[in-house]
Amino acid sequence: MFQDDLSILLRVLVACLLCGILGWEREASGKAAGLRTHILVGVASVLFTVVGEFMAVSFRAYGDHVRFDAANLVGAIVTGISFLGAGTIIFKKDRSDIHGLTTAAGIVTTAAIGILIGLERYFLAAGSTAIVFFILRFVSIFELKALKAADKQDEV
What are 116-156's pLDDT values in tens digits?
Answer: 999 999 999 999 999 999 999 999 888 888 878 777 777 76
Q: Rounded distance, CA 61 to CA 38, Å?
A: 36
CA dist 41 and 22 (Å) reads: 11
pLDDT at 5 over 80: yes
Give yes or no for residue 42 having a pLDDT over 90: yes
User: Whole-model pTM?
Assistant: 0.82
Domain that holds residue 138: 2-155
SS3 97: strand
Residue 95 has pLDDT above 80, yes or no: no
* AA letter at 69: D
Q: Report the pLDDT value the prediction gives residue 85, as an integer from 0 to 100.
A: 85
pLDDT confidence band for 6 (50 / 70 / 90): very high
Q: Which helix (H) or strand (E) holds 99?
A: strand 97-99
Question: Domain count of the chain?
Answer: 1
